[in-house]
Amino acid sequence: MLDREQVLHVARLARLRLGADEVDRFSTELSGILDHVDKMGGLDLSDVDPTTHVVPLENELRDDLPHASLTLEQALANAPESEESSFRVPSPQA
């Protein structure tokens, strides 16, 4: 089980401010998560094929094939302002 100092250390790393009741609750919850991860680490997965998705894909998109892009003139056509080959944006006000 994670102790109070370990939970506070993780909270500092994540830049979280925790109340006393949250520290106690997260100590239990984080310990449970780490126990579960530890159990998964002990599984024999040598016969399991690597996957990129845990469920079959549906609604797959078209192949990403190269095609002609907008010309510079087309890209800048609706810009409120442009300068040379770039969009012109207002400077941030200090």
Residue 94 lies in a domain: no
- Residues with Cβ within 8 Å of 76's Cβ and at least 6 positions away in sequence, in order, are 82, 85, 87
Domain extent, residue 10, equals 4-41
pLDDT at 30: 94
Could you give the number of structural domains in the chain?
1
CATH of the domain at 18: 1.10.20
pLDDT at 23: 94
Residue 64 lies in a domain: no
Residue 16 lies in a domain: yes
Asked whether the beta carbons of 26 and 18 are under 8 A apart, the reply is yes
pLDDT at 70: 94
pLDDT at 52: 77
pLDDT at 94: 58
pTM over 0.85: no
pLDDT at 10: 94
Classify strands 82-83 and 86-87 as parallel, antiparallel or unpaired: antiparallel
Residue 35 lies in a domain: yes
Per-residue pLDDT of the chain (94 residues; tens, 9 = 90+): 899 999 999 999 999 999 999 999 999 999 999 999 999 999 998 888 888 788 887 887 888 899 999 999 999 999 999 999 999 988 887 5
Q: How many CB atoms lie within 10 A of CB 2?
A: 19
